[in-house]
Amino acid sequence: MDRLTEMEAFATVVDQGGFTDAAKKMGISKSAVSKHVSSLEARLGARLLNRTTRRVSPTEIGLAYYDRARRVLNDAGEADALVTSMQSAPSGLLRISVATDFGVNHLSPALSDFLSDFPDITVNMVLNNRYVELISEGFDMAVRIGELEDSTLRARKLTETTKRMIASPKYFEQYGRPEKIDDLNNHKLLHYSNQSSGNVWKLTAPSGEKRQVRTAGWLSVNDGQSLLNAAISGLGIAYLPSFLYSEAMEKGLVEDAIPELPLETQGIYAVYPPGRFTQPKVRAFIDFLVHEFAEKGPTDW
């Protein structure tokens, strides 16, 4: 007799509190359920259930066996679900949270290829610059940049970006160029106001010493593209990721404020809720992003 079927019959009897309800749950006869349980007890050489005219309850051994059996049955069910999901075409609504700067400049242009490859998926991409609670806010996944705050989420690195301080040639002509980190206290700094640490710049000195710059910049903006525009206009020095400033730097619109400083590197990740298996639509999009950004970063954008 099938060992899993015996296990399922026994576990269902415990769950339902009797053979009659277990038979209804499994869609088989009461005698068949009884036969499966009796066969299991005979094979194990132990009585797993206390049977009376009024109720059925697990013995001490039966309760211990039930805990393990339920885990095995759950694992078997998840294994079946995995195969089914891998064979089925990805479909349905995919809700994605993406930082505005990265979404506008790099994710939006790639969506047409993804939707062409997966016509049964509908994408709802929400652009914002705040931390989103994936599960409570109903998102399937997010693309996040930098240190991951929530360790309970699953994550897959897509690529990397660097950060550096940049300003326009016009700014350097008017205010001079800082030569070392301490000189930043005498310059006009542009801050990202949407982050609690937006007015704290974590830098590395040429010696390798980790430094933090805390100043009340004379302009704070909650959008990276706006900060870049402000830097290009000569309003001050901004500390931005390479995926934002690379094109402007190639055109000579901005320059590195202190070229001697080592570049700070940040990861760009796809994050999604925990669980043993990933929804096909989520897996499809993450695989697409990995391929899309395979030749991007950390400075090549």
204-212, Cβ contacts within 8 angstroms, sequence gap of 24 or more: 204/261, 204/262, 204/264, 205/180, 205/181, 205/261, 206/260, 206/261, 206/262, 208/262, 211/181
Class for the domain spanning 161-265: alpha beta
Q: Do domains 3-87 and 161-265 have the same CATH topology?
A: no
- Mean per-residue pLDDT over the chain, rounded: 91
- Buried (b) or exposed (e) across 246-282, using 16+ Cβ within 10 A? bebbeeebbbebbeebeebebbbbbbbeeeeebbbbb
Cβ contact 110:251 at 8 Å = no
Q: Is the pLDDT of residue 121 over 90?
A: yes
**pLDDT cut 90: percent of the chain above it:** 69
Distance, CA of 252 to CA of 234 (rounded, Å): 13
Distance, CA of 137 to CA of 121 (rounded, Å): 20
Q: What is the mean pLDDT of residues 1-13?
A: 91
SS3 content of the chain, % helix, strand, coil (to 5): 40, 25, 35
Residue 216: partners with Cβ closer than 8 Å, 6 or more residues away: 199
| CATH number belonging to domain 92-152+276-292 | 3.40.190.10
pLDDT band at 193 (very low <50, low <70, confident <90, very high): confident
pLDDT reported for residue 276: 64
Cβ contact 115:123 at 8 Å = yes
pLDDT band at 131 (very low <50, low <70, confident <90, very high): confident
- Could you read off the pLDDT of 203-232 as tens digits, one per residue? 999 999 999 888 666 888 888 999 999 999
Residue 125, amino acid:
M
pLDDT band at 195 (very low <50, low <70, confident <90, very high): low
Domain boundaries defined on the chain: 3-87, 92-152+276-292, 161-265
Q: What is the mean pLDDT of residues 100-106?
A: 92
pLDDT reported for residue 248: 97
Distance, CA of 222 to CA of 99 (rounded, Å): 11
- Could you read off the pLDDT of 241-270 as tens digits, one per residue? 999 999 999 999 999 999 999 998 999 999
Residue 90: partners with Cβ closer than 8 Å, 6 or more residues away: 118, 120, 121, 280, 281, 283, 284
**pLDDT cut 70: percent of the chain above it:** 95
Q: Which CATH architecture has domain 3-87?
A: Orthogonal Bundle (1.10)
pLDDT top residue among 298 and 78: 298
